[in-house]
């Protein structure tokens, strides 16, 4: 009986660990979010659209890791968060569509899109 419990606990842990590490970032979803949420604000700001191809893969990785947006005024993760999506979803289709996506998944998706579209990425991308 004891052994069965230990085995069951082990199986559950394996499932949890498996789901956490098995998440396969979806760059297409990242692209939708980047274009609809990030770019729509940039395009309306003095900064203008920021193409993924303006940075290298290493630069995007470092940028996202630092999580300092707009010269440190706020954070990138803030604009990816469920709370932010909830705030803008009435006027933003992508935010509405991904309203319940876990923050970590959406952040991984956006990163995958930016890395793919980086200056030295698989397919350097513009915003549109
Ligand atoms: C509500 C508006 C808004 C949203 C949403 C937004 N940004 Fe920005 N972003 C700005 C502004 C404004 C600047 C320019 C800040 C400056 O130069 O002072 C900027 C600058 C940037 C820069 C240039 C470097 C820097 O941080 O100054 C990057 C890269 C960037 N944003 C990425 C993102 C990503 C990725 C997202 C989406 C997850 C996002 N932004 C969402 C307004 C926004």
Best CA proximity match to 121, nearest among 65, 53, 61: 53
C-alpha span between 93 and 62 (Å, rounded)? 29
Query: How much distance in Å is there from the Cα of 4 to the middle of ligand 1?
Result: 52
What pLDDT, in 10s, does the model give residues 9-54?
655 555 555 555 579 999 999 999 999 999 999 999 999 999 999 9
Q: Indicate which atom in ligand 1 lies nearest the CA of residue 34.
A: 37
Distance between CA atoms of residues 124 and 115, nearest Å: 9
| Ligand 1 binding site (Cβ under 6 Å of any ligand atom) | 37-38, 41-42, 45, 47, 50, 63, 69-71, 76, 79-80, 110
Ligand 1: distance of its center to the CA of 31 in Å?
Answer: 15
Q: How far apart are CA 50 and CA 12, in angstroms?
A: 43
CB 39 within 8 A of CB 49: yes
Alpha carbon of 38 to ligand 1 centroid (Å): 7
Distance CA 45, CA 122 (A): 28
Residues 68-116: tens digit of each pLDDT: 999 999 999 999 999 999 999 999 999 999 999 999 999 999 999 999 9
8 Å CB contact between 79 and 86: no
Cα(67)–Cα(73) distance, integer angstroms: 10
Closest-lying ligand 1 atom to the alpha carbon of residue 64:
35
- Identify the band that residue 125 occupies on the pLDDT scale cut at 50, 70 and 90: confident
């Amino acid at each position: 009986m004891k052994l069965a419990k230990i085995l069951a606990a082990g199986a559950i842990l394996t499932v949890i660990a498996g789901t956490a590490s098995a998440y396969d970032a979806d760059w297409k979803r990242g692209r939708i979010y980047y274009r609809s949420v990030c770019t729509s604000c940039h395009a309306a700001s003095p900064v203008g659209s920021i193409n993924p191809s303006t940075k290298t893969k290493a630069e995007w990785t470092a940028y996202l890791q630092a999580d300092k947006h707009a010269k440190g005024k706020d954070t990138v993760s803030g604009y990816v968060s469920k709370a932010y999506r909830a705030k803008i979803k009435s006027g933003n289709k992508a935010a509405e569509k991904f309203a319940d996506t876990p923050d970590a998944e959406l952040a991984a998706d956006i990163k995958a899109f930016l890395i793919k579209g980086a200056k030295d990425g698989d397919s350097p991308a513009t915003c549109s």
